[in-house]
Chain A
Amino acid sequence: MKPDPYKPVKAEILDVRDETPNIKTFVLKPEIPIPFKTGQFIQFTVFGEGEAPFTPSSSHFETEKFEVTIMKAGRVTEKIHGLKKGDAVGIRGPLGKGYPLNEFEGKEVLILGGGVGMAPLRSLLLTLLHEKEKYKRIVLLYGAKTPDDIVYKDEFSNWRKMGAEIFQSVDRCETGKWQGKTGVVTCLFDEVKLNPEQGVAIVCGPPIMMKFGTLKLIEIGYKPQNIFLSMEKNMSCGIGKCGHCALGKFFVCKDGPVFNYSEIKDIEGIWE
Chain B
Amino acid sequence: MWFISDENFKTFADEISKEYTLYFPVLKETRYNWKKYQKDDEISLDGFRTDLPAKYFFYATQEELRQKEKTPFAVLGMRACDLEGLKLLKKIYLDEPQDPYFRDENLIITADCTDCGENCFCTVLGKKPYAEDGFDLNFSRTDGGFFVQTGTQKGNALIEKLKELFIKATEEHKYSVSRRREEILKKVSEKNNNQEIVLKELGEKIEKNREVFEEFSKTCVSCSACTNICPACFCFFLSEGAKGKIRYADSCQFKGYARVAGGANPRKELAPRFKHRFLCKFSFRPQMQEYTGCTGCGRCIDGCQGKIDFKEVILKVYET
How many contacts A-B (CB < 8 Å)?
Answer: 102
Does A32 count as interface, using CB distance less than 8 angstroms? no
Interface-forming stretch among A121-129, A196-204, A230-238? A230-238
From 239 to 266 in chain A, residues with beta carbon under 8 angstroms from any chain B beta carbon are 239-244, 246, 248-251
> Chain A contact residues: over half helix, strand or loop, or mixed?
loop
Does A4 count as interface, using CB distance less than 8 angstroms? yes
A234 engages B250 (CB within 8 Å): no
B67, B234, B237, B258 pick with most chain A CB within 10 angstroms: B258
From 248 to 272 in chain B, residues with beta carbon under 8 angstroms from any chain A beta carbon are 250, 252, 257-262, 264-267, 272
- Taking the closest CB of chain A, its distance from the CB of B266, in whole angstroms, is 4
Does A268 count as interface, using CB distance less than 8 angstroms? yes
Does A50 count as interface, using CB distance less than 8 angstroms? yes
Cα(A98)–Cα(B222), bound, Å: 35
User: Which residues on A sit within 8 Å (CB–CB) of B239?
Assistant: 50-51
> Chain B contact residues: over half helix, strand or loop, or mixed?
loop
Which of B238, B241, B261, B272 interacts with A236 by CB under 8 Å? B238
Chain B 74-95 per-residue mask, 1 if CB under 8 angstroms from chain A, else 0 = 0000000000000000001101
A249 engages B284 (CB within 8 Å): yes
B97 engages A5 (CB within 8 Å): yes
Does B221 count as interface, using CB distance less than 8 angstroms? no
A2-B100, A4-B65, A234-B261 known; A269-B266 Cβ under 8 A: yes
Cα(A248)–Cα(B275), bound, Å: 12
From 12 to 60 in chain A, residues with beta carbon under 8 angstroms from any chain B beta carbon are 45-52
Cα(A200)–Cα(B267), bound, Å: 31
Does B140 count as interface, using CB distance less than 8 angstroms? no
Does B245 count as interface, using CB distance less than 8 angstroms? yes
B245 engages A48 (CB within 8 Å): no
- Taking the closest CB of chain A, its distance from the CB of B222, in whole angstroms, is 16
- Taking the closest CB of chain B, its distance from the CB of A150, in whole angstroms, is 19
A241, A250, A251 pick with most chain B CB within 10 angstroms: A241
Which of A48, A77, A270, A272 interacts with B240 by CB under 8 Å? A48
User: Which residues on B sit within 8 Å (CB–CB) of A183?
Assistant: none
A73-B261, A244-B257 known; A50-B280 Cβ under 8 A: no
Does B198 count as interface, using CB distance less than 8 angstroms? no
Does A6 count as interface, using CB distance less than 8 angstroms? yes
B242 engages A48 (CB within 8 Å): yes
A52 engages B250 (CB within 8 Å): no
- Taking the closest CB of chain A, its distance from the CB of B82, in whole angstroms, is 19
A74-B261, A244-B250 known; A48-B234 Cβ under 8 A: no
A272 engages B235 (CB within 8 Å): no
- Taking the closest CB of chain A, its distance from the CB of B57, in whole angstroms, is 18
Q: Which residue of B lies closest to A48 (CB)?
A: B242
Q: Which residue of A lies closest to B287 (CB)?
A: A249
Does B236 count as interface, using CB distance less than 8 angstroms? yes
- Taking the closest CB of chain B, its distance from the CB of A224, in whole angstroms, is 19
User: Which residues on B sit within 8 Å (CB–CB) of A49?
Assistant: 240-241
User: Which residues on A sit within 8 Å (CB–CB) of B97?
Assistant: 3, 5, 239
Cα(A50)–Cα(B93), bound, Å: 23
- Taking the closest CB of chain B, its distance from the CB of A264, in whole angstroms, is 12
Which of B95, B241, B266, B267 interacts with A240 by CB under 8 Å? B95
Does B283 count as interface, using CB distance less than 8 angstroms? yes
Q: Which residue of B lies closest to A255 (CB)?
A: B288
Which of B67, B236, B276 interacts with A242 by CB under 8 Å? B236
Cα(A73)–Cα(B264), bound, Å: 11
Which of A48, A51, A233 interacts with B260 by CB under 8 Å? A233
19 extra interchain contacts, Cβ-Cβ under 8 A, other than A4-B100, A50-B241? Answer: A1-B67, A3-B97, A6-B245, A6-B247, A48-B241, A49-B240, A50-B239, A73-B261, A73-B262, A207-B264, A233-B258, A234-B260, A240-B92, A241-B99, A243-B235, A244-B258, A246-B284, A249-B283, A269-B272
